[in-house]
């Protein structure tokens, strides 16, 4: 019988990316280390074991740190535009491997094949952005109060950047960090999610080719694998000035406290509880498209997934009916088959959390209008396929206030003015992404004003997910406050230095202070 891996070219993709029959999981460039303990990577698509990856030992971690530390001394001295050239070459390698890597992302993580390709395209896009940025790492000049003095500030390479990424974007978030860190002159150590280790090894293999072809130190890009205890080696290590961590708010709080205890820096991208406000002036067709993709895309496992739909009472029933009809059209199945809209969620533990959330909705007094449930039978043997659900709830429900990483959409009714809807939108602990659907200019501007959405991302007439790399990505409150990707996010990967130059023969002090000596 032909397996899914054979039918959709997964085995060929694994060979192309060098992640077939592997047992190593710790790497400095081309050099891999293998310990006794292993992670087993199972695909949520069909439940099959893809490969085993070694868990990084403390001894191997020290080798990684030594390689990274030594490599930084060389890499930071290379001019930034030249570092940008290496990132350009990495982007070209990604273009050559887009199909293979996109398939691996889809098969190991479970997102649709189009989303897998899209994730690799994000990597390519951030490389293009970083290449241009490598010639624009600017500072500022300022006027000194002292005659004959010049003041300016500049940015220097920070050092080693530790990256902890999540399973839902197993390659793109790493690229957001590394592409910028590399053009800033930093070196990187990456711990990918223990649920998607093969994606990490594939990316490491690709960048290792660039390093080798340019005779660059291997420690510019390092890889470690394992669960939380492996990540702790980085978060506790004072040799790593910046930890960039993506994941749950619970995880982020642990990372933040650990790194802060040693006065290190963190870039945190944590939980979301994203809402779309639908006003009486909304385009209903656009609303349904944005809400459905936002709620069920990546099986509801994006940090920017639409969790809440806050609908004005005058159009509530119309929107509810349209959503219910749209959900009947969703095709759930093998994500490598492009006829399907939605694939599996990541593992059976997540399936259990999904089921518990549905039960809690009822316990708290909510109503399931699209009931959801776990899918069984042919094509669903992995046990990770679930039906997207829609529930009528109150914003104050405990289950609504938390983030469930699954395709569950909450409908919340509001009455009166837009200010009431904004209060509901902001009335959660998280502050990542938000949107409003309206053709009313005043409503749109109020939503974007200081009295509007309190999220890091606020959109008008598009959904909550699908951010472009040109803008800074991140959120407020329990989302962590970090910013990645575009705009001036590069500054977090560098240290700022203020410089004052005296080109006179006297030494006047600032603030008019006198300190005369014979």
Range name among 17-21, 224-228, 288-292, 437-441 with the lowest pLDDT average: 17-21
Q: What is the pLDDT of residue 444?
A: 98
- Residue span(s) of the chain under CATH 3.40.605.10 come to 7-270+480-496
> Reduced to 3 states, what is the DSSP secondary structure of residue 42?
strand
The chain-wide mean pLDDT, for the chain, equals 96
Q: What is the pLDDT of residue 356?
A: 98
Rounded to whole angstroms, the Cα distance separating 40 from 418 reads 50
DSSP letter assigned to residue 54? E
Q: What is the pLDDT of residue 1?
A: 59
Q: What is the pLDDT of residue 517?
A: 78
pLDDT tens readout for residues 447-464: 999 999 999 999 999 999
Q: What is the pLDDT of residue 96?
A: 98
- Residue span(s) of the chain under CATH 3.40.309.10 come to 274-468
Average pLDDT on 168-186 reads: 98
> Reduced to 3 states, what is the DSSP secondary structure of residue 183?
helix
Average pLDDT on 213-240 reads: 97
Phi/psi region, residue 436 (left: phi>0; alpha: psi -120 to 50; beta: rest), is beta
List active site positions.
269, 303
Q: Cβ-count burial of 488 within 10 angstroms (0-12 exposed, 13-18 middle, 19+ buried)?
A: exposed
pLDDT higher than threshold 80 for residue 20? no
Average pLDDT on 145-165 reads: 97
Rounded to whole angstroms, the Cα distance separating 158 from 176 reads 17
Average pLDDT on 318-325 reads: 98
Q: What is the pLDDT of residue 231?
A: 97
Pick the CATH number of 274-468 from 3.40.309.10, 3.90.1150.10, 3.40.718.10, 3.40.50.10150: 3.40.309.10
For residue 260, the tally of other CB atoms under 10 A from its CB is: 11
pLDDT higher than threshold 90 for residue 310? yes
Average pLDDT on 178-190 reads: 98
Q: What is the pLDDT of residue 515?
A: 84
pLDDT band at 27 (very low <50, low <70, confident <90, very high): confident
pLDDT band at 365 (very low <50, low <70, confident <90, very high): very high
Average pLDDT on 5-16 reads: 93
**In angstroms, what CA-CA distances link 169 with 72, 189, 492?**
27, 17, 21
User: What is the edge-to-edge ordering of all strands in the sheet holding 140-143?
Assistant: 140-143, 149-157, 494-502
Q: What is the pLDDT of residue 12?
A: 94
pLDDT higher than threshold 80 for residue 189? yes
Q: What is the pLDDT of residue 25?
A: 79
Q: What is the pLDDT of residue 31?
A: 82
User: At the top level of CATH, which class does the domain 7-270+480-496 belong to?
Assistant: alpha beta
The residues, any chain, with a CB within 8 Å of residue 413's CB and separated by 6 or more, are 311, 312, 313, 316
pLDDT tens readout for residues 62-87: 999 999 999 999 999 999 999 999 99
Q: What is the pLDDT of residue 441?
A: 98
pLDDT higher than threshold 90 for residue 503? yes
pLDDT tens readout for residues 409-438: 999 999 999 999 999 999 999 999 999 999
Range name among 30-34, 103-107, 360-364, 484-488 with the lowest pLDDT average: 30-34
């Amino acid at each position: 019988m032909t397996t899914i891996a054979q039918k959709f070219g997964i085995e060929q993709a694994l060979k192309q990316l060098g992640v077939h029959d592997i047992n190593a999981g710790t790497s400095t460039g081309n050099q891999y280390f293998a310990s006794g303990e292993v992670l087993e990577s199972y695909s949520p698509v069909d439940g099959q074991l893809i490969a085993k990856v070694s868990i990084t030992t403390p001894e191997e971690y020290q080798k990684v740190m030594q390689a990274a530390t030594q490599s930084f001394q060389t890499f930071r001295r290379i001019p930034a535009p030249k570092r940008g050239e290496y990132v350009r070459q990495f982007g070209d390698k990604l273009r050559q491997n887009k199909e293979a890597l996109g398939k691996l992302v889809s098969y190991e993580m479970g997102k649709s094949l189009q989303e897998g390709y899209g994730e690799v395209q994000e990597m390519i896009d951030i490389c293009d952005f970083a290449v241009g940025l490598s010639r624009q790492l600017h500072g500022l000049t300022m006027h000194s109060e002292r005659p004959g003095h010049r003041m300016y500030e500049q940015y220097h390479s920070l050092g080693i950047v530790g990256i902890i990424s999540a399973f839902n974007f197993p390659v793109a978030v790493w690229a957001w960090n590394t592409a910028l860190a590399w053009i800033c002159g930093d070196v990187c150590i990456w711990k990918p999610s223990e649920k998607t280790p093969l994606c990490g090894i594939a990316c490491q293999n690709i960048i290792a080719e660039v390093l080798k072809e340019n005779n660059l130190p291997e420690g510019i890009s390092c890889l470690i694998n394992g669960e939380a205890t492996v990540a702790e080696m980085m978060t506790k290590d004072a040799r790593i000035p910046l930890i960039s961590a993506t994941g749950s708010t619970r995880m982020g709080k642990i990372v933040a406290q650990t790194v802060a205890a040693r006065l290190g820096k963190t870039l945190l991208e944590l939980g979301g509880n994203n809402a779309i406000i639908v006003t009486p002036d909304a385009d209903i067709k656009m609303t349904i498209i944005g809400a459905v993709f936002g709620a069920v895309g990546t099986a509801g496992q994006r940090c920017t997934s639409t969790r809440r739909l806050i609908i004005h009472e005058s159009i509530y029933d119309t929107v509810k009916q349209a959503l219910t009809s749209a959900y009947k059209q969703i095709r759930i199945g093998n994500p490598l088959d492009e006829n399907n809209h939605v694939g599996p969620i990541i593992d059976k533990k997540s399936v259990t959390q999904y089921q518990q959330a549905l039960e809690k909705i009822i316990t708290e007094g909510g109503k399931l209008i699209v009931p959801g449930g776990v899918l069984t039978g042919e094509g669903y043997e992995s046990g990770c396929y679930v039906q997207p659900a829609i529930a009528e709830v109150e914003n104050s429900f405990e289950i609504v206030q938390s983030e469930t990483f699954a395709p569950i959409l909450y409908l919340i009714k509001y009455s009166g003015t837009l200010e009431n809807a904004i209060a509901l939108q902001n009335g959660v602990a998280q502050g990542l992404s938000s949107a409003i659907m309206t053709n009313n200019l005043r409503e749109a501007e109020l939503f974007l004003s200081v009295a509007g959405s309190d999220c890091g991302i606020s959109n008008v007439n598009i959904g909550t997910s699908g951010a472009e790399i040109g803008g800074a990505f991140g959120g407020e409150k329990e989302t962590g406050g970090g910013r990645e990707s575009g705009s001036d996010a590069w500054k977090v990967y560098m240290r700022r230095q203020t410089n004052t130059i005296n080109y006179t023969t006297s030494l006047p002090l600032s603030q008019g202070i006198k300190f005369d000596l014979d």
